[in-house]
Amino acid sequence: MLGRIEKALLQEEKNKAIRDEAYKDVLTGLWNRKHLQDEIDSLKDSDSTGSFLIFDLDNFKGINDNYGHVVGDAALVAFAKTLKNFVHKDDIVARIGGDEFAVFLRNSYGKELLSDRIENLILEVEHEIKVVKEDDSYSSVSIGISAFPFDGKSFIELYNNADKALYYVKQNGKSGYHFYNPSEKYSFTEEENKDVIDLFQLKKYIEEEDLSDGPFKVEYNSFKSIYRFLKRYVMRTNSKIQILLFSLKDLSIIASDNTAGLNKSMIILDECIKDSLRKNDVSTRYTNTQFLVILMDVDEDKRKNVVDRIMDNWNENNNNPNVLLKYDIEELKAEG
């Protein structure tokens, strides 16, 4: 009996080791996105607090191009080691994909204390990358921060908002950090990917198109007509109409390697949206990586149900770990 118990315990240890390996990033040894997502989503109904940080190595492609992928991998490993030293043992450090990392700090830190820690971390990262490259050329890291549960109670909500804060840093000189603020309007168009826009920009372009002869050109006349009609409709009926923008984010280091996978993911997303909407809703493919959706007669509670259905459908059918689905959502308001 003792022998059987010992065997059972050993087998359980082996099974746990196998499960842990499935949740580990091969290159850095950190947790992967799936583990981080599961851990955060498990806190939805708890009284926990925490901080969610996204880290992005600035101009990492230049390291690969100028020094080779061996040095690039070494830079990622060094960055991972620095992040491990940054957190406490109960915190979670994960590699999301490519050169993007995330940290979930359990328990809340005051902004002043967290800012001091992050500023020291940025200096340490810059030093470590220089050591890896064996020269004094400048390297840096950008960081976006959201708070649990105030900026989101799920991984994807925290990620979306931290990602907006991250791109605020990217557009304002890089090598810094920013705390997400829901009262701010964020624009996170990447310079290297001009065909991707966010919801704030989209609304701006649609509403100002008839007042400007600017260079922005896209086939969306039908959507524009519907959108403008609905603004009048809302003003006269006080109906609840929601605007959603679903965006796919490529997490692979070399985006060109994942073009086919991204196209396949768009097909999957199209099916997920189609299966989750009613006949009186509207959807359109807006860019190569984005779908736009209009939900008719839906309040904030019901729109969450629709988003959850689409996200659950996506997570069930998407098999590409290098593609992440994000969304923006906003209620359509009447002018004035």
Name the residue ranges covered by the structural domains of the chain.
12-179, 199-331
Task: Note whether 12-179 and 199-331 share their fold.
Answer: yes
| pLDDT tens digit sequence for 35-52 | 999 999 999 888 999 999
- Amino acid 34 reads K
Give residue 258's pLDDT.
66
Give residue 28's pLDDT.
93
Assess contact for 291 and 221: CB atoms under 8 A.
Answer: no
Report yes or no on whether pTM surpasses 0.75. Answer: no
pLDDT at 197 over 80: no
Q: How far is CA 285 from the centre of its chain?
A: 20
| pLDDT tens digit sequence for 286-319 | 888 999 888 888 888 889 999 999 999 999 999 8
Residue 247, SS3 per DSSP: strand
| pLDDT tens digit sequence for 217-262 | 335 567 778 777 888 888 777 788 999 999 999 888 765 566 788 8
| Alpha-carbon span 104 to 141, nearest angstrom | 17
Query: Of 106-110, 117-121, 148-152, 173-177, which gets the smallest average pLDDT?
Result: 106-110
Indicate the helix (H) or strand (E) that contains 93: strand 92-97
Instruction: Look over the chain and give the mean of its residue pLDDT values, rounded to a whole number.
Output: 83
Residue 182, SS3 per DSSP: coil
**How sure is the predictor about 284, in pLDDT bands with cuts at 50, 70 and 90?**
confident
Q: What percent of the chain has pLDDT over 90?
A: 41
Sheet holding 100-106, edge to edge: 31-32, 92-97, 100-106, 50-57, 141-148, 177-179
The domain 12-179: what is its CATH number?
3.30.70.270
Burial class from Cβ neighbours inside 10 Å (0-12, 13-18, 19+) for residue 79 reads buried
pLDDT at 64 over 80: yes
Assigned CATH class of 199-331? alpha beta
